[in-house]
Amino acid sequence: MSLDNHYDVNAALDKALNDDFLRKATRRATDRLRNNKKAITDELGNWEEWRQAGEKIRNHVVLNLDYYLDMLIDNVEKNGGIVHLAKTPEEAVNITKDIFKKHGFKSVIKSKSMITEEIHLNPALEKDGIEVVETDLAEYIIQIANEPPSHIIVPAMHKNRDQIAKLFEPIAGHPLDSDTPTLTKFAREQLRQKFMASKIGITGCNFAVADTGTVTMVTNEGNGRMTSTIPEVQITMMGMERIVPSFKELSVLLNLLARSATGQRLSVYTTLTTPPRHEEDLDGPKEWHLVILDHNRSEILGDEEFRSSLRCIRCGACFNVCPVYRQVGGHAYGSVYSGPIGVVITPLLEQDYEKWGHLPYFSSLCAACAEACPVRIPLHDLIVKHRDRKVLKGYTPNLEKKIFKYYGYYFSRPKTLNKFIRLGAKFQFVLVRNGRITGGPPPLSNWTNSKTLPMVAKQTFRDQWPELEKNLQNMKRGDK
């Protein structure tokens, strides 16, 4: 799931923090999305009741996932769809490749799908000589730039209009104005040709409805509709937890999703397809494949502490309120899923604390994410649990281990500790500026590089105690 084999957390953070445009753009996008959400959820009436309904529905599905998945498979097959179950990303990729081989397709149109990012589908298809065309405007932009998404809802928010115009120019073969209508029109024309000529499409899936075999996809641009309307073969990719029991629960979640993601009442196009096309229908896929991916979701399911993270509906609301995400943007995380939910699910999906152990520290534990979540996932609690588990599993850096070892040693030997503190109080002046400790040798410098420490008190509490105790005795006597 790594975006870059040479990912280094400090280098990635330095890069992000020194990129003024990125930081401004991230704040602009997240502020806009957050404010839109606020307005549109206020309009709905008691948002807390909606969140509780969302939580209840998603919990119910997660706890009965085998039952609903079985029902979904039955109904999709009854409708004439082809279901593929993939335990691993590799299996999902191979299933997809086989479909291409069977038909001999050399080009595919795609509408936005985080699952395909998760399994790294595009590079795998391209390796087979297949042209992959991303059709969501933002995905189209970052595909040309050869970059991963920086936000699950607005994946290209780190690019400015001039950069986008520069990316489009080699394709256009002439200079382009960098105003939004020109750039949008250019993408529309380019992708129109691809849509009209397309033979196969790949889409994501926001929710699959178990009792009808329906898949739901929301887009604002219409690329999702194009991808599910024009090609004669369609592949839908979904994580196995993205299920709702019936239309009844679907309407609640569609409201929660659109309002939390972009602050819309509903997305412009909410498409409920129950493929394949019916006899005599003129549009829609004749052949439809539904690829259902596990990729350690079953491990999360079996892990009661983290099970609630499977409730996620991928709205991105937690990104927009996260003080860490808002400072560094999505790329600094190094993972496909960033933001608070990415912090929680990446180490679980990858079952790897060694590589992803840095993620639980991309949080101030302020809990704004949990408050924003439309299905009430206690994200900050889960982030703390990750830190805890990382330590228990022995992935603590040596320095940290040493510090806590010494901490334990000295704090259980009060006399020695007191001696050290007295020494510290005496010699701290070399490190003190304006009443705060502002520098020092490692490991102290890890802290003082970015913030200051209060001074060690001239007299320790222990040294003050005889005096304090006398006062206390006097006070007690006074009471009587």
Looking at residue 30, its amino acid is T
Judged by CB under 8 A, the stretch of 118-126, 242-250, 388-396, 421-429 that binds another protein is 242-250
Give 450's Cβ-side CA count (13 Å radius).
Answer: 4
In the block, tokens 């179950």 appear at 85
Q: Which is nearer to another protein, 63 or 366 (by Cβ)?
A: 63
Per rule CB under 8 A, is residue 27 in the interface with another protein? no
- The answer to whether the beta carbons of residues 358 and 338 sit under 8 Å apart is no
x/- site string to another protein, residues 139 to 178, per CB under 8 A?
--x------------xxxx-xxx--x--------------
Per rule CB under 8 A, is residue 299 in the interface with another protein? yes
Buried b (16+ CB within 10 A) or exposed e, 390-419: beeeeebeeeeeeeeeeeeeeeeeeeebee
What's the min distance (Å) between Cβ of 403 and another protein? 37
Q: Which is nearer to another protein, 172 or 266 (by Cβ)?
A: 266
What's the min distance (Å) between Cβ of 266 and another protein? 4
x/- site string to another protein, residues 200 to 239, per CB under 8 A?
------------x-x-----xxxx-xx-xxx-x-------
Q: Which is nearer to another protein, 183 or 437 (by Cβ)?
A: 183
What's the min distance (Å) between Cβ of 242 and another protein? 14
Per rule CB under 8 A, is residue 283 in the interface with another protein? yes
Per rule CB under 8 A, is residue 192 in the interface with another protein? yes
Write out the binding residues for another protein, residues 62-81 only, by CB under 8 A. 63-70, 73
Per rule CB under 8 A, is residue 287 in the interface with another protein? no
Q: Tell me the chain's radius of gyration from C-alpha atoms.
A: 27
What's the min distance (Å) between Cβ of 65 and another protein? 5
Per rule CB under 8 A, is residue 39 in the interface with another protein? no
Q: Which is nearer to another protein, 254 or 431 (by Cβ)?
A: 254
What's the min distance (Å) between Cβ of 139 and another protein? 9
Rounded Cα gap, residues 119 and 350, in angstroms: 11
Rounded Cα gap, residues 96 and 93, in angstroms: 5
Q: Which is nearer to another protein, 53 or 114 (by Cβ)?
A: 53
User: What does the block give as tokens for 334?
Assistant: 């190094």
Rounded Cα gap, residues 285 and 201, in angstroms: 9
Per rule CB under 8 A, is residue 19 in the interface with another protein? no
User: What does the block give as tokens for 316?
Assistant: 């991105």
How many residues can be counted in the chain? 480
What's the min distance (Å) between Cβ of 418 and another protein? 52
User: What does the block give as tokens for 171?
Assistant: 């394709």
Q: For 39-90, give the DSSP string.
A: HHHHHTS-HHHHHHHHHHHHHHHHHTHHHHHHHHHHHHHHHT-EEEEESSHH
- The answer to whether the beta carbons of residues 159 and 141 sit under 8 Å apart is yes
In the block, tokens 């992935």 appear at 395
What's the min distance (Å) between Cβ of 50 and another protein? 5
In the chain, what is the straight-line distance between the N-terminal and C-terminal CA atoms, in Å? 70
Per rule CB under 8 A, is residue 96 in the interface with another protein? no
Rounded Cα gap, residues 27 and 456, in angstroms: 38
Per rule CB under 8 A, is residue 197 in the interface with another protein? yes
- The answer to whether the beta carbons of residues 141 and 163 sit under 8 Å apart is no
Q: Which is nearer to another protein, 96 or 271 (by Cβ)?
A: 271
Per rule CB under 8 A, is residue 46 in the interface with another protein? yes
Rounded Cα gap, residues 9 and 12, in angstroms: 5
Rounded Cα gap, residues 152 and 316, in angstroms: 6
Q: Which is nearer to another protein, 125 or 215 (by Cβ)?
A: 215
Write out the binding residues for another protein, residues 371-400 only, by CB under 8 A. none
Q: Which is nearer to another protein, 301 or 377 (by Cβ)?
A: 301
Number of amino acids touching another protein (CB under 8 A): 101
Judged by CB under 8 A, the stretch of 267-275, 318-326, 401-409, 448-456 that binds another protein is 267-275
